[in-house]
Structure 1
Amino acid sequence: MERIKHDLRLSETVSPFGVGAIVDIRGESLIAPDTSWWDKKFSPEIHCERLVERIGQSVLREAPTHSGRTGKDTLGLLYWRFPAWRFCERCSKLSAQTGRKKGKWTNTCFCGGSLVPMRYVAVCEKGSHLQDIPWFMWAHRGRDAGATESVRFCRSYKELRFVRSAKHGEGLKSLRVECGGCKRSRPLSDLVTKGALGRDGIRCKGVQPWQEPESGSACEHTLIATQRGATGNYIAERISALDIPEELPRSAEAADAIRGHMFFEKVVADNGGPQAHLVAGWIADELGVTPEEVLNVASGVDEPSDAALLDLKDGEWAAFLKKLTRTGRDQSYGDFVVDSWRVSDQQGVPPALSARLTSIGQVRRVREVRALTGFRRHTAEADLISADLSIDGKRRPVFPAIEVYGEGIFLRFDEQFLTEWEKRPEVKARAGILIERRNRTQWAQRLDVPEPRYVALHTIAHLLIRRLAFASGYSSASLQERIYAQSDRPDRTAGILIYTAAGDAQGTLGGLVRLGDPDKLVPILLAALDDADVCSNDPVCIESDRQGATSLNLSACHGCSLISETSCETANRLLDRQLVLGGSSVPGLLDGVLEEVRSTDR
């Protein structure tokens, strides 16, 4: 096998070239095997207790790194050649063999021409498996393949060719696999019809390309031929967490205090009876909570959801709230430093904006850990393949991870104003369109629930990122968002974190955090709203309620709201300008802010 040395950015080992991904490098098509193939001695462990607690007992490891030029003994990751079948650019010969040059295996044909990987591979419809298409077998199958004995019993394994011929038509009909022995010729258009591989007797082996098939590993699901570079061939499951001194949410602290009260057992014993309500009132008066909270704790209604990302965000939200209680410079040390400011204390802020936006945090330093837990293929409903396929069961799974350090801006919105706004029937109806579409699409149910506050704050984050890219010195693809906007959690959240984190450096240069100063951020936010007030695609965009993938955007397009998909939590979905700025029949969360500013300027 030819040994290829190629540099990747450290962040690319998690996305987009992580475990199970097909990678094109220097004319080669390669695939990354799972972490059981990693040399653990040279893969440093990354520690983030918050993340490990949510994803289950595991070990997070960073890929080996090096400095300087690559050499013979440079540490690295193993990648397998896939697909193995390639054709020669010079002689068109199709083969899974590799040529030799001066005694070494190379990616060249025996005639000296370069080998090009075949463009189609076989993907399991439900099992997330991937394998080569057996081209010799496929070329000698089909409806008329048994018409002659020469085709049925052909053994000319070395005479297969991949040719282009316009005389048979255009598109895939012009691309054919031909056998020089029996003269059988078959177009690639036969490959992509529904159930084509199954009709030809090609079955799923039930493994990944770097695994050896074992007895009983065959999969019962159908194989589908797809292009090698198709987006659906690799759907990564990633999760990230901010490394912060996690605080208990207020509801969790209150629940602990309620359980520790000396009369709590009486509430539990009466199980909703009259005595339980009486004693719950006593406990509520003493602890400063409501009787309903006491009864909910006793009945177990307060138990939190086990959704990993939401649990992570609950702890982060509580930590940010603790930082925001003290205004001014943060004198603490470590990897979580936030200066905070109350918007109402600042001069020159429009009253309409200060009624909605309560606090601003300048996140001077933050550490984020990103982990790849697995992947799916073909559809988001397919089986999840773990990033560690070791089956010994004697150790915790190893997941690829990176740690990144950065800076950011945190915005907290007024909970009371949000609650009153999202109760309005017009607002509910507008967000209900997205909720219905999300519920109708199975894969979309993995996204956040697009309740009004989430859609509005998510859209504001996008508008800010687009504007901050002009002033911060970072490209929009370098900025990330984290939306805290859930009303169905024990502690309601209403905030936005926009941050940047570099995986190949120990920090950033402050270009973003300096813009978190209220004197700078408020004008930037107003400019972002002004940019979004009129889109280059209006009136089509503002009047639309069906844009984006699976129509999961309303009034939002590339001209006004969309950013790099890698920067967005939901890959540019669940956006709507009308829920921010208002529309003909719906009031926006920041409706009236621009009008107030413009009237003052006059």
Structure 2
Amino acid sequence: MERIKHDLRLSETVIPFGVGAIVDIRGASLIAPDTSWWDRKYAAEIKCERLVDRLGPSVLLEAPTHAGRAGEATKGLLYWRFPEWRFCERCTRLSRKTAKDKGKWANVCANCKGALVPMRYVAVCERGSHIQDIPWFQWAHRGHDSGVTETVRHCRAYKELRFVRTATHGEGLKSLRVTCGGCGRSRPLSDLVATESLKRDGVRCEGRQPWEDEKDGDPCEHNLVAVQRGATGNYIAERISALDIPEDKPRSISGTDAIRGHMFFEKVVADNGGPQAEMVAGWIANELGVTPDKVLAVAAADDDVDDAVLLNLKDGEWAAFLNKLDKHARDTSEGDFVVDGWRIDQSEGTSQAVADLIAGIGQVRRVREVRALRGFRRRSADASMVSADLGFDARRQPAYPAIEMYGEGIFIRFNEERISEWESQPAVQARARLLTERRTVTPWAHRLDLPEPRFIALHTVAHLLIRRLAFASGYSSASLQERIYSNSDRVDRTAGVLIYTAAGDAQGTLGGLVRLGQPEKLVPLLTAALDDADYCSNDPVCIESDRQGTGSLNLSACHGCALISETSCETSNRLLDRQLVLGGRNVQGLFEGVLKQARAEIRIR
């Protein structure tokens, strides 16, 4: 049996070659089994309490690594051969690995010594996210044409199957045929991709993944679809990431805790509603810098309400960033979360429009990000999710593949008052409502963020800035990531953007991005990004459009102006609109004044 040793980047073990993915390596087609097949003695555990709290009781494991060239004794991950059906490039004969092979696997044809190539098509479950080989012998002898005879039905020439190409039957898939040398039956691949073709041929879903035992598969009621082996829809990774930062509470929760911890708070509770309660609440309010009404509201709140529960991983991150920005100084702390805070003043090079809109900038000099693979789906985003660990039970917690990345970034906090004033306009709300309604009716879109006006505007600005930073930072746009902090339906409203890059090296990245976080450099870059987006090569079609992208979940945004690499975007290039950023015929853009003032200053100079 030949063992293939091949090096992957550590990040590739999470995506794109994570659990359940098909990868072509040196002429072989392989699939990655779940983490129950990992040797845990050589898989290092990664610690990230914030991420584990979100995933539930679990373990984060990093694939084994090595330095230098891989040898026989080098520990690695197991990948299964899939599909099992192959054809010979020379004699075109089809063959399949069976239990009789006892683990042996040949890469050359036993008949003519030609190279064996994996079959191009596999079968994917429409809803269950299962995948399996197409039973080529069974499929070749099925069909409803008049050529099916008793000889074909009772054919047992299992070793006489061939995959041939002939120009006599047409072009495309009609010219690719599976032919039986025993009974003469021949069938084109065009029959394979027809609607419900596998169902008509009696091919049923086995309800399992290729690395699972045949006894483990449960009956699956969904139909199979024949797809190309390397189709992108065969693997849709379900990834989750978190920044490893000090877990700070949102300010409303911190204020509530301070009120409850005051020595006089019990007196307010005891006399709630009475004259003494108002007087004591005034004392507490003066000391803590809050209103007496806030103190009375906390005293009257139900004791069973747990205010400390964070609604999202980003809530703690937002609070941590604000604590760093409030210092307005260089961060001299050590660790994996170092942020210098800057205040935006109307100084030389900074317009009044920018100073009013941006509340602060953070130069993220060092940040640690942990990425984990929860599972995957196949065929469609609303199919069943398959866990990255299929072997866990009550005795063992699930293990998820994970990597830790170190990097740098730029954090921008926007003025909450200005954004709230802008998003209250009826025209702005009506524009955002288009995406809200489409998100509701699209089955898989519920996993996307709620497209309220501030989210769409900040998300689009993040894309525009990434496109511009790719020219100035030294990193490609695909290397930059976004993280959008946008919520208006909570006590602690958020309005910010983090653009960062990270690498698997413990030393992090090279500093080309964080140096651009200084106001005198970032403000011109932001203005230039807005100016770039004001003209799109697809205008006027693009700027006047309100239906673009998958599921029409983009408005005025296309590859010529606002789209970036899907791996860099939290929502895979959806929920974007230039009109809510720059303005349109009937809509005022959030950053419309910034661009107008910048151009006016240029004309004056």
Alpha-carbon distance in structure 2 between the residues aligned to 1:300 and 1:468: 48
**Could you tell me which amino acid in structure 1 is paired with residue 192 of structure 2?**
L
Are residues 251 and 488 of structure 1, via their aligned partners in 2, closer, same or farther at CA, if it must alter by over 3 Å?
Answer: same
Q: Determine the structure 1 residue equivalent to 2:81.
A: 81
Moved more, 291-300 or 488-497: 291-300
Runs of 4+ in 1 over 3 A off after TM superposition: 103-106, 144-147, 254-261, 263-267, 275-287, 289-297, 299-306
Asked if structure 2 preserves the Cα contact closer than 8 Å seen for 1:409 and 1:499, the reply is yes
Aligned-residue offset at 1:505 = 5.1
Are residues 238 and 297 of structure 1, via their aligned partners in 2, closer, same or farther at CA, if it must alter by over 3 Å?
Answer: farther
Q: Determine the structure 1 residue equivalent to 2:471.
A: 470
User: Which of residues 294, 298, 303 is equivalent to 2:302?
Assistant: 298
Instruction: Say which SS state the counterpart of residue 312 (structure 2) adopts.
Output: helix
1:375-390 equivalences under 5 Å are 375-390=376-391
Alpha-carbon distance in structure 2 between the residues aligned to 1:301 and 1:174: 68
Are residues 54 and 598 of structure 1, via their aligned partners in 2, closer, same or farther at CA, if it must alter by over 3 Å?
Answer: same
Asked if structure 2 preserves the Cα contact closer than 8 Å seen for 1:145 and 1:152, the reply is no
Aligned-residue offset at 1:303 = 5.9
Alpha-carbon distance in structure 2 between the residues aligned to 1:20 and 1:176: 29
Structure 1 vs Structure 2: percent identity of aligned residues? Answer: 69
Alpha-carbon distance in structure 2 between the residues aligned to 1:566 and 1:296: 47
1:41-440 equivalences under 5 Å are 41-97=41-97, 105-110=105-110, 111-144=112-145, 147-214=148-215, 217-257=218-258, 261-262=265-266, 286-287=284-285, 288=290, 290=293, 294=298, 297-298=301-302, 311-344=312-345, 346-440=347-441
**Could you tell me which amino acid in structure 1 is paired with residue 3 of structure 2?**
R
Alpha-carbon distance in structure 2 between the residues aligned to 1:392 and 1:416: 50
Q: Determine the structure 2 residue equivalent to 1:445.
A: 446
Are residues 215 and 29 of structure 1, via their aligned partners in 2, closer, same or farther at CA, if it must alter by over 3 Å?
Answer: closer
> Are 2:518 and 1:517 aligned?
yes
- In structure 2, runs of 5+ residues without a counterpart are none
Instruction: Say which SS state the counterpart of residue 298 (structure 1) adopts.
Output: coil
**Could you tell me which amino acid in structure 2 is paired with residue 532 of structure 1?**
A
Alpha-carbon distance in structure 1 between the residues aligned to 2:504 and 2:46: 13
Instruction: Say which SS state the counterpart of residue 519 (structure 1) adopts.
Output: helix
Aligned-residue offset at 1:595 = 1.5
Are residues 116 and 145 of structure 1, via their aligned partners in 2, closer, same or farther at CA, if it must alter by over 3 Å?
Answer: farther
Aligned-residue offset at 1:416 = 0.7
Alpha-carbon distance in structure 2 between the residues aligned to 1:285 and 1:585: 50
Asked if structure 2 preserves the Cα contact closer than 8 Å seen for 1:176 and 1:187, the reply is yes
**Could you tell me which amino acid in structure 1 is paired with residue 24 of structure 2?**
D
Asked if structure 2 preserves the Cα contact closer than 8 Å seen for 1:30 and 1:81, the reply is yes
Are residues 276 and 531 of structure 1, via their aligned partners in 2, closer, same or farther at CA, if it must alter by over 3 Å?
Answer: farther
Alpha-carbon distance in structure 1 between the residues aligned to 2:334 and 2:3: 45
Are residues 39 and 280 of structure 1, via their aligned partners in 2, closer, same or farther at CA, if it must alter by over 3 Å?
Answer: farther
Give the length in aligned residue pairs: 589
Alpha-carbon distance in structure 2 between the residues aligned to 1:429 and 1:284: 43
Alpha-carbon distance in structure 2 between the residues aligned to 1:589 and 1:180: 70
Aligned-residue offset at 1:11 = 0.5
Asked if structure 1 preserves the Cα contact closer than 8 Å seen for 2:208 and 2:216, the reply is no
Moved more, 426-435 or 346-355: 346-355
Asked if structure 2 preserves the Cα contact closer than 8 Å seen for 1:266 and 1:276, the reply is no
Q: Determine the structure 2 residue equivalent to 1:500.
A: 501
Instruction: Say which SS state the counterpart of residue 42 (structure 1) adopts.
Output: coil
RMSD, aligned CA: 2.5
Alpha-carbon distance in structure 2 between the residues aligned to 1:115 and 1:551: 43
Moved more, 310-319 or 337-346: 337-346
Alpha-carbon distance in structure 1 between the residues aligned to 2:544 and 2:309: 37
Question: CA offsets, 1:88-107, max 9 Å, x none?
Answer: 11111111149xxxx98432
Aligned-residue offset at 1:286 = 3.8
Moved more, 86-95 or 211-220: 211-220
Moved more, 275-284 or 520-529: 275-284
Asked if structure 1 preserves the Cα contact closer than 8 Å seen for 2:97 and 2:105, the reply is no
TM-score, normalization: structure 2? 0.92
Instruction: Say which SS state the counterpart of residue 482 (structure 1) adopts.
Output: strand
Q: Determine the structure 2 residue equivalent to 1:17.
A: 17
